[in-house]
């Protein structure tokens, strides 16, 4: 057993999962926004990064790590809601490229403002978990308390989001607003409010990804979510932009693929692994692995 855990194969599984859950969170956040408002939010990563700066730097003022995490999520949610209200709402019903262009521009603005406030120096906000790898039978297992925390936190967040959508009144209204906005309004659902809440939820999920990234060895800097965003985007496309389950699976697939490419080929081409998976999947299933019906919306 212990030799199995310390095998290079298992190390790569652990590494891939740890990275994959971050991609899953980002992909999930993209899917929530895509489903409700049909916007591809290119500023998703940057918004989460900004919220994490606001929240996690409060540790300098003596706030505990956990309060900083909660603050980051709250700030992220507020940021998401305000963004939908101010930047996106005026663009509904206009060409679909408009919100995309706006959010790409917004990405640049957020990163510039962040650099202006906090400089571009990377910093690390250590989680209260050791990052030292476990050992089994004298050999390293590529798992640390921090990595276990990271995986558990991500899974708990995903389960909470799934439960919210599936079992609550709010979740039902969110789903109805995304699936059939006009019918939902005829049934008295305040669809505009649901769109704002969708953006808030999405941004909250994204913030968790950024918090995990900032708490680990990767650190926090103004562009720290850029690569993660691209991988999360690929993960969402692989799983199917219409499928939250697909987003989560897509994230794990991309995380594991990158890890194995990195280990058996070369670290410099790791992102290529994700691209190869994407191209292969899109050739076989153009709408992603988990999309149920093909272009249901008109």
Partner 1 sequence: MIRVSDLSVNYGAIRALRNVSFEATPGKITAVLGANGAGKTTLLRAISGLVTPQTGTILLGEQSLARVATENIARMGVAHVPEGRGVIEELTVEENLRLGALASKVNISEGIEAQYAQFPVLGDRRRKYCGTLSGGERQMLAMARALIARPKVLLLDEPSLGLAPQVTAELMKTILSACESENLTVILVEQNAKSALRISHDAVVLHLGAVVASGSAAEVAADEDLRRYYLGLVEE
Number of Cβ within a 10 Å radius of residue 1:
7
Nearer to partner 1, 67 or 167 (CB): 167
Beta-bridge partners for 289? none
Q: How many residues does the chain have?
A: 298
Q: How distant, in Å, are the alpha carbons of 38, 89, 174 from that of 93?
A: 11, 9, 19
* Binding residues among 266-295 for partner 1 as defined by CB under 8 A: 292
Number of Cβ within a 10 Å radius of residue 62:
7
Nearer to partner 1, 61 or 297 (CB): 297
- Work out the angle at residue 251's Cα, subtended by the Cα atoms of residues 163 and 246, and round it to the nearest 5 degrees: 55
Cα(55)–Cα(63) distance, rounded to whole angstroms?
10
Closest distance of CB 173 from partner 1, Å? 7
Nearer to partner 1, 135 or 296 (CB): 296
Query: Taking Cα atoms as reference points, which of 173, 161, 223 lies closest to residue 27?
Result: 161
Closest distance of CB 189 from partner 1, Å? 6
Number of residues that bind partner 1 (CB under 8 A): 18
Closest distance of CB 185 from partner 1, Å? 4
Q: Is 123 helix (H, G, I), strand (E, B) or coil?
A: strand
Nearer to partner 1, 182 or 283 (CB): 182
Closest distance of CB 243 from partner 1, Å? 11
* Contact pattern for partner 1 over residues 162 through 201, marking x by CB under 8 A: -------x--xx-xx--xx-xxxxxxxxxx----------
* Residues of the shown chain interacting with partner 1 in the complex, contacts defined by CB under 8 A: 169, 172-173, 175-176, 179-180, 182-191, 292
């Amino acid at each position: 057993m212990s030799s199995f855990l310390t095998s290079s194969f298992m190390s790569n599984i652990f590494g891939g999962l740890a990275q994959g859950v971050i991609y899953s969170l980002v992909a999930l956040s993209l899917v929530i926004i895509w489903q409700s408002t049909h916007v591809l939010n290119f500023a998703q990563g940057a918004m989460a990064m900004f919220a994490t700066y606001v929240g996690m730097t409060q540790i300098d003022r003596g706030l505990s790590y956990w309060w900083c995490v909660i603050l980051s999520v709250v700030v992220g949610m507020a940021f998401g809601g305000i963004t939908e209200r101010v930047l996106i709402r005026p663009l509904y019903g206009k060409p679909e490229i408009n919100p995309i262009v706006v959010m790409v521009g917004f990405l640049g603005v957020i990163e510039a403002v962040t650099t202006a406030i906090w400089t571009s120096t990377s910093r690390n906000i250590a989680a209260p978990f050791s990052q030292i790898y476990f050992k089994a039978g004298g050999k390293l297992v590529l798992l640390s308390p921090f990595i276990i925390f990271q995986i558990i936190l991500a899974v708990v967040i995903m389960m909470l989001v799934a439960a919210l959508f599936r079992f609550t009144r709010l979740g039902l209204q969110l789903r109805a607003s995304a699936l059939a906005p006009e019918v939902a309004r005829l049934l008295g659902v305040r669809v505009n409010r649901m769109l704002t809440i969708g953006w808030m939820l999405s941004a909250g999920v994204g913030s968790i990804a950024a918090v995990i990234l900032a708490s680990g060895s990767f650190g926090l800097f103004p562009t720290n979510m850029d690569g993660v965003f691209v991988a999360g985007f690929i993960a969402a496309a692989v799983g199917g932009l219409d499928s939250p389950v697909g987003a989560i699976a897509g994230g794990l697939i991309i995380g594991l693929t990158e890890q194995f490419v990195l280990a058996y080929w070369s670290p410099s081409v790791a992102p290529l692994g994700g691209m190869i998976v994407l191209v292969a999947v899109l050739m076989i299933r153009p709408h992603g692995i988990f999309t149920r019906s093909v272009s249901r919306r008109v």
